[in-house]
Each structure stands twice: as structure tokens, then as C-alpha cells.
Structure 1
Amino acid sequence: MPPVPGAAPGVGPAPGPGGVEPRQRLHPLSPFLHGAKSLLAIIAAMSWSTLSRVGLGWFALMVVLLLLGSLVLYVVSWYNTGYHVVGRELRIHEGLLWRRTRAIPLERLQAVEVVRPLLARLSGLAELRLEVVGGGKTEAPLAYLRIADAAVLRERLLTLAGRAGAPAVAPAGVPQGAPGPGMPAPGPAGVVPTKPVEVAGRDLHAVSNRDLLVSQLLTPQAFLVPFGVAFVLYQFLSAASFSFIAVASGLTALAGVLLQPVRRVVDDWNFRLVREDERLRVRHGLLETRAQTVPLVRVQAIVATWPLLWRAKGWLLLRLHVAGVSVGEGDSGGTDRLLPVGVPPTAQSIMNEVLPRVDLATLPLTTPPARARWLHPFAQPVMGAALTDEVFAVRSGPITRLVMVVPYARIQSVRVIQGPLQRRLGLATVYADTAGGPSAAAGSRDLREAWAMAADLTARARHARATGAAPFPTA
């Protein structure tokens, strides 16, 4: 039987009539898992005040009716949802009254993440999330699949994304139709094994859970815990009677204070970083386990952060930016983490895997002119910018120190911006923009230096894209 057009050899279902791969459905338990999540959302949306007004019996009846309605909608949605790979596109079909088909070109694929929430882990299922260029959120969440099916589909999509734009032929020395590295070999009659063959990776680092706990205790939120406890006690003592509403409101306030550090610990628990050929694999999570695969060629920038309270222990945080994946400092999930907490030698060893020849400790960063203190009275001494052979680096942050490095090949545009006060002082800010990722900003440079830096960045970016990131020739 001939392989599916555009599919990795030996991977994926057999083609149907006309040589088109048949459409696949999600796992039958998917509607029930979505319904269980909706139950928590329904209870939260109805609030404690509704319970106090209607009573426990009516409240339970309303929850059951809303849950049954949601479950029916999820079942209908599951029945009309399907996906398959056509050529070099992943197509997702969904909708009952309004049919919608999303075609995701695999050359835009930046990262693939296998997520296993608690209920999915109990059911032996997983969710596959795809991140693509230009997307501010997950483009194609497939929830839920069997673990083996999600792993096979992930390897297949990453293989196709790596081959995008290249002829679909086997490498030299590999027979046509033979499976690629890490791909399952076809069995008798072309049957594909359900369990994928894992590629042996090289462990880079495993974060100590003890260090992770201590790092989150050294945060402003942790220092606010006594105030949260005092607020809860005030609720108990000031209430006219010991009521359920007083207890709920007090616990809600305390949870709001503790939410971010607790979420970070839960998300980054058992954090492990593995190198597999030209990919990085990140595994982490306590209640919800995540396994993210990022091709190194998709890396847009790396940010090193030194929080104020971590400096006494010499700790820092490394974050990874991938095109189309926008994750802010306060976001959960940990999908942008390279190192949740660690010492400089560990961070440098990881940097050497992603951006060789880039040393965070020896970046030749220069500060803006002294007159920039009129605009940045506290930040000017720590602000800096540098153009090395491989990257554009900027530094900022008087309290939380931050260094961002951007490879020249990832720079999409360069801007020189002057505000009204900067014009008075003869200053300007140079921005280096990446594809759907962050912009590296060299703030308040001398005007002539800013224009020269912008011209140099443009030339280096053009040279890196044309030569495959070869070092820029210097006089």
C-alpha cells in the first residue's frame, strides 16, 4: 500500500479511497473530560451568593442541568470534529451548524506540546497543542488523544515541519519508505505500531524541587502571606456571625495572594530538560504534566532574569521565546521555561546548547550616555546593549535584572524611536523585532549611536539570513 502523500514513511493511517488519508476523531472520552472541567467553571460562575439565596437543593439541581446541557453540546461537538494530514497541512474540521475547516501549514509549526491534565492522566489520555508563527495562542489544541497516538502524531508533524520545502525523499543511505529516526517502523501489511519508538535524548538538567520551593518563597507574593492571613482573621472576627460566606471570602482572598507562587511550583515540579538531535524537550508538572518539543531552529530569543530576592543565592531564570508563542512573566504553564531556577554555570551550559559561543557573563554591554539619567534615574546605570558576532544583547531592570539575547537571523525589522523628551536630549531607542516574539530594545542611546546601531543590526540580520547565521565579517 503506498504511503499517504506528504506523510512520514511508516507513520499515520492508511489512505482511503482516492489516496486521501481518512479523517480521525478524538478519543470518545473527550466530551466527558470537557464536561468535568465545565462543572468546576459552572460552580465558580454561580458564586457563593447564589447558594445562600436558593439553598443547597436548588443549587445542586441547577448545576446538574447546566452540566447535562454542556455535556450534550460537547458530545455533538466531538461527533463533528475530526483531523487529518493532507500533504504538508494539518486540517481540523469542526462545527455542526457552521462548518469550519482550519488548514495549518506545517512549515509554520514552531513547537508541539503534549499536555496531560489530572483527569486526562487518570484516563490515560493527553492533549496535543501546536504553536505556530503569528499565533497569539495555541492554534490547534487536539483534546483528547491516547498517549501513544499523541506521541506518534507529534513526531509525524515535527518530521513534516522539518522537511517542509524539501523534496519528500529518503536521506542518502536510507531506503525509500524506511522510517526516519525516532519513527515507528511499519509492521506486517503496513500496520503501524501504536506505541512510538522514543529517541534516546541527552539529559541537560533536572531542577531540584527543593530549590524550586525556596525560589518561590523568595517572591513578593510570599512576603504578602502574613497580610493575607491577617485579612482572613479580620473576616472571621468582624463578621456578625460565623458564616459560610465569611469563610469563603477569606479563603478566596488568601488564595489570590498565594496563587502565582503556588502555580509556579505546581507547573515546574520535576522540571527536566533533554536534548534530542536538533530539538529540546521540556518535561514538567505535578498535577498537569507537560512535554514540549521545540526545534532549536525555531528559537527567537532567550531571556535571563535575576529577581532581586534571588541575587543573594546567585540564582537566575532562563526563558525561551518561540515565534508565535506569547508567554508573559505572569502566565502559567511554564511552556517558555529553559531553567525555572538555577546557578550561572548551569544556565551557561544550557545557553551553550541553544546559542553556542554566547557567554552571558562576558557580554560587552555598554550603558547609555549619562544624560539618559534624566529619563531613567535608577535604570540608566544597569541599562546596556551589545552587538557580538552571533547575537544582539540588551540589559534592563534596576530591581529585576533582565538580559535578552536575539540571534541576528531571527531579527525581522529594526526601528529607531524618539519620544519628545528623547528629542530634547538627543537620544533614541533602537528596537530589534522578531517574528511574533519579543522586541529587544536598546533604550535611550545617543542619537548618532542609535542610527549606527540600527544600520549595523540591519546588515548583520541580512547577512545571517543569507549565510545561515555565519559570523558577520568585521574589519
Structure 2
Amino acid sequence: MSASEIEPAAPAESAAAANAHPSSANPAAVDADRRLHPMSWLFVLIQQLRQFIVPLLALLFFGRGDRNELWSLIGVGVLVLVSLWRYFTYRYGIGGDSVVVRSGLLNRSLRVIPFVRIQNVALHQNVLHRLFGVAEVRLESAGSKEAEAHMRVLKLDDALALESLVRRRGAGAAETVEERADILLRLSTAEVLRLGLVSNGGLVLVGAGLAALSQMVPDVNGRIPERVLRQGLRWVSGHVDVHHFDTAGYALLAIGVIGATAVALKTLSIMLALLRYHGFELSEQGRRLTAERGLLGRWRTTVPRRRIQAWTLEEGLMHRLLGRRRLAVDTVGADEGDEGRALKDLAPIATPATCDALVEHLLPRAHWDRLQWRALPGATWWRLFLPDVPWTVLATFALHWHVGAWGLLALLWLPWTAFKARRRAQRIGYAYSEDLIAVREGWWHRYWRFAELDKLQALQIKRSPIDRRCGTATLWLDTAGAGTLAPPLRIRFLPEADARRIYDTLAATLSKRPLRW
């Protein structure tokens, strides 16, 4: 096994791949064996040692923590030897129609990866990569969340050459004329700053950091929060007593603290947006899309357009205030845990006109701007209002039990919930044509979700007890690559007759068309 961390194929799989592509598996038909960058063992070693960073910091700053977690540092020397062993026993070559990977010394393995199977080439550079002029490369295939090959690391020129080779030979041709790359979208620094304003990256980062710290440092769950809270309250109480605040003063102080916290979190979100999306550029070359981004570290992801399964347009309240939207996509085999692997954002932030132009350019047959949207009956608003009623009643009862009559003020949440449900019901709609199915929902946070009919994998009609009572149904539409955080592709509260009519129409259309990846 090499320092590239390439998962070895099973013997049967390797033999089958070699038989399917004899010219590629034959050493005579493959270019001279190549190695990774001479310093690749160092990057593998650093990756292995990252798990020790948090215990070391906890021991350094808090003087506590579980020292048993550091005993494994004795194996650092062993890791160095293993990393060097992997480097010297790793080879890869380029055949006429595939990439051939050889690894191992005592237990040797051969992996043949046809170019036509490679759907995505992801390049990643952190600061250390850029200093050495290297890049981490992933070769991915459709229908799999594991990389076909994960190379740590290649020279940057070799990584770019491999990406170009996959793009040119991915269609199965031995040689293809290199096409010019067209820039579809480029974000300025001002746009990236706006992206930081509309995102909640700072809040997510702080929450994740506190969760990780609570797991690694025992005192975070015990004495540290109590001590910090006690000292903080004592400090605040001392300063407040000096100024003799009245009720209005306390209210202003609370507003000031909340405002300062919000400003700090937004500042952190802006910094994260600059680190992740500085220099964002979306380009098109032939039938492939390439996105490149990052300030200190750089991510470069190339994916065929046919791999895109579903599309999402989103806009929150801050988006609307700034006149912006987000255009995201689902791709086959995307892994939500590694944001650098998959192409998820075609436009992290852009004007509505720019987003619509991108959709029209990449889906010309869909006629996005000419879709006929159908609204649901206005009486469906109570279906959105109903789930909030029992929770509001329970909260009111609990508050009344603890604070008395003042707890009944929680019932004022019901008029707001009813108003919100009415506005959401007015926004729900759907549209479909010969090539596209689309849904829209949301009021405070709006989204449009759509997919080509050829990309649908399953249709399903679901009816809850309330649906059966009201004569309605929900039509679920399934595509490959849908993320757990992506809005669902569904049409809710449809009259049963309409749901079955749309189901029959879509089913008849899908039966005449092959599924496209």
C-alpha cells in the first residue's frame, strides 16, 4: 500500500478489471511507472498526526486532559517508517484508456481505473501543499462515495496534467482536441464578503469547537463552565452596580451584549467565507464544469455536467435584502463530510438574474424562465399551522406552572404561527414540463428545487391519516446524490386525483426514457 492512500481493489475486482481492459493492465501498454512527489510521505505522516493536536493543546493550555491519549505518540517513529514504505512501494502509470495503480511489496495489488469510469477529479492544496508545489488528488466514479484513488501527493503539474487527461479521454476516445475553457462565474471580493454576511459559518464553527472541546477536555463539562460563568457574572454585577442601571438600562445592556455577539459571529463568518471562497471561479470546458476556490488552501473540482442530478435555488431574508441567491447542485457520489470532494455550489452567491442565466445555459431544454407554476388550494395553510399548536400549548402550560399568569403570554405565538403558515401556503407551488419537474416552498427562507425527468429514480405517493381524511397526498420524487441537508423534492397537500394524474404522467414519460447519470 502506498502513501497515496489508494484503496486496494479486491483480487477478484482487480482481475476482472484487468480482463476488461487488457491493454491497460499489460505493463507494456502502460507509460513508465511513476512515483508520487518525494515528500508525499511527509503529508501522509501529518495526516496521521492530526488526531493528536487536540490532546496536545488541551495538555498545554489547561494542564489537564487524559494523558493516556498521548501514549500513542510513541508510534510516531513507526508511522514515519510506514509512510516511507508506502512511498517506495507505490507506482502508477497511464495506459491508453485507464490509470493503473500498483502498490504493496509483500501483499501486492493492481488496480485498473478506466478513464470512462472516472467522473470527478478533485484537487486540493493547503498552505503546505502550495509551499511544496504539490496537490492532493482524488479520482471518483459515479455511484460511489469512496474515491477510486486518493493520491497524497502529486506535483501540481502532474495533477493538472492528469485532470486534463481524464477530461480528454473520459469519453472513450484515445485523443480529443483540447477545448477552450469558458468562465461562467467569477466572484469578486465584495461578493465573497456578502456571502459571509448571509452565511452562519461562524455560529456553526463555534458550536462545533465547543462540542469537540467538551469531548476532549473533561473540565469543559464540569468545573470550567461553572468557574467561567461565576467569574463572568461577578464581573458584570460589579460594573452594573457602579452605574445603577434601571430597567431600561438593563434592557439596553442585554441588547448591546446580543448585538456584540452577533457582530462577532458575523465577522467570523466573513473570515471563513474569505478562506473558503476567495477567488471562486466556475468554468466550463466541453461537457465538464470546473470550480476553483480558496484563499490559503485551494480546492479545484472537475465534474461532468451529466453527473448533476438535482438543482436548488435558495434565498433567505439576508439574501433578499442584498438582492442575492444561491445556486447549488446534487452530484452522484458526493460526500457531505468532505466539502472539497464534490462540486456543490455553482453560485455560492449571485444575483437572481445571474442564477437564472446559469440554469438556462446549463439546462437549455428546461426553459426555466417559461415554467407555468401551479399553486395549491389556499385552505392548505392550516396543515402548516397545525403542528405548532400542541408545542405552543405545552410550552404555555410549562411557563404557567413556573411563572404564573405571565406564562399565558406564550399563546401570542399562535397568531404569528398562523400568519406564517398562510404566507408559506401562498408560496407553495409546482411546475413540470417535458424535461423538468420543479417545486417551490418557503416564505422566510425560500427555495426552488428541480430536476430533469431523466434523472428521476423513483416516484412515490404517500398519504398520512390527515391526508386520507382531507383527500390529499404527497408526491415524492427521488434522485441520486441527494444530500441530507438539501430541501426535499416533493409536492405536498396535492388533491389525490391531481397527485395520481401527475404520477401517471411522469411514470409514462420515464418508461420511455433511459436513466441518465
Q: Which bracket does the TM-score occupy, shorter chain normalised? A: 0.7 to 0.9
> Which position in structure 1 is the counterpart of 2:34?
24
Is 1:322 paired with 2:331?
A: yes
User: Which whole-Å CA distance do the structure 2 matches of 1:155 and 1:91 have between them?
Assistant: 17
- The answer to whether the 8 A contact 2:316-2:444 is kept is yes
User: Which whole-Å CA distance do the structure 1 matches of 2:438 and 2:457 have between them?
Assistant: 16
Structure 1 residues 421-472: Cα deviation after superposition (integer angstroms, max 9, x where no partner): 3233222222222233466222232222112112222233344439x99xxx
> Which position in structure 2 is the counterpart of 1:187?
none
User: Which whole-Å CA distance do the structure 2 matches of 1:450 and 1:15 have between them?
Assistant: 52
> Which position in structure 1 is the counterpart of 2:458?
413
> Which position in structure 2 is the counterpart of 1:442?
491
User: Which whole-Å CA distance do the structure 1 matches of 2:205 and 2:135 have between them?
Assistant: 35
Q: Give secondary structure in 1 for the equivalent of 2:514.
A: helix
User: Which whole-Å CA distance do the structure 2 matches of 1:398 and 1:139 have between them?
Assistant: 42
Range moving further from structure 2, 381-390 or 129-138: 129-138
Structure 1 residues 16-64: Cα deviation after superposition (integer angstroms, max 9, x where no partner): 7543555433222111123234444312144514765489xx99x9797
Q: 1:85 to 1:415 in 2, by over 3 A?
A: farther
Q: 1:418 to 1:52 in 2, by over 3 A?
A: same
Range moving further from structure 2, 152-161 or 140-149: 152-161
> Which position in structure 2 is the counterpart of 1:351?
359
Letter aligned with residue 134 of structure 1: G
Q: 1:261 to 1:363 in 2, by over 3 A?
A: farther
User: Which whole-Å CA distance do the structure 2 matches of 1:453 and 1:374 have between them?
Assistant: 24
TM superposition shift of 1:356: 1.2
Q: 1:100 to 1:422 in 2, by over 3 A?
A: farther
TM superposition shift of 1:136: 2.7
- The answer to whether the 8 A contact 2:302-2:343 is kept is no
- The answer to whether the 8 A contact 2:123-2:138 is kept is yes
> Which position in structure 1 is the counterpart of 2:475?
430
TM superposition shift of 1:375: 3.1
Q: 1:17 to 1:313 in 2, by over 3 A?
A: closer
- The answer to whether the 8 A contact 2:474-2:499 is kept is yes
> Which position in structure 2 is the counterpart of 1:460?
509
Is 1:180 paired with 2:176?
A: yes
User: Which whole-Å CA distance do the structure 1 matches of 2:471 and 2:108 have between them?
Assistant: 57
Is 1:68 paired with 2:71?
A: no
> Which position in structure 2 is the counterpart of 1:41?
51
Q: 1:303 to 1:121 in 2, by over 3 A?
A: same
TM superposition shift of 1:68: 3.4
Letter aligned with residue 309 of structure 2: Q
Of 213, 222, 235, 2:193 maps to 213
> Which position in structure 2 is the counterpart of 1:473?
none
> Which position in structure 2 is the counterpart of 1:172?
none
Larger radius of gyration: 2
- The answer to whether the 8 A contact 1:269-1:284 is kept is yes
The alignment's TM-score, normalised by the length of structure 2, stands at 0.68
TM superposition shift of 1:120: 0.8
Q: Give secondary structure in 2 for the equivalent of 1:325.
A: coil
> Which position in structure 2 is the counterpart of 1:287?
296
- The answer to whether the 8 A contact 1:300-1:406 is kept is yes
The alignment's TM-score, normalised by the length of structure 1, stands at 0.73
Question: Can you give the 5+ residue segments of structure 1 that lack an aligned partner in the other structure?
Answer: 1-5, 7-12, 170-178, 183-198, 241-253, 470-475
Larger relative helix fraction: 2
Of 444, 447, 461, 1:402 maps to 447
User: Which whole-Å CA distance do the structure 2 matches of 1:26 and 1:127 have between them?
Assistant: 10
Letter aligned with residue 145 of structure 2: G
Q: Please, what is the CA RMSD of the aligned residues?
A: 4.2
- The answer to whether the 8 A contact 1:430-1:442 is kept is yes
TM superposition shift of 1:104: 4.2
User: Which whole-Å CA distance do the structure 2 matches of 1:219 and 1:374 have between them?
Assistant: 31
> Which position in structure 2 is the counterpart of 1:263?
272
- The answer to whether the 8 A contact 2:288-2:305 is kept is yes
Is 1:238 paired with 2:287?
A: no
User: Which whole-Å CA distance do the structure 1 matches of 2:48 and 2:335 have between them?
Assistant: 26
- The answer to whether the 8 A contact 1:77-1:95 is kept is yes
Q: Give secondary structure in 2 for the equivalent of 1:264.
A: helix
User: Which whole-Å CA distance do the structure 1 matches of 2:468 and 2:31 have between them?
Assistant: 61
Q: What number of residue pairs does the alignment pair up?
A: 410
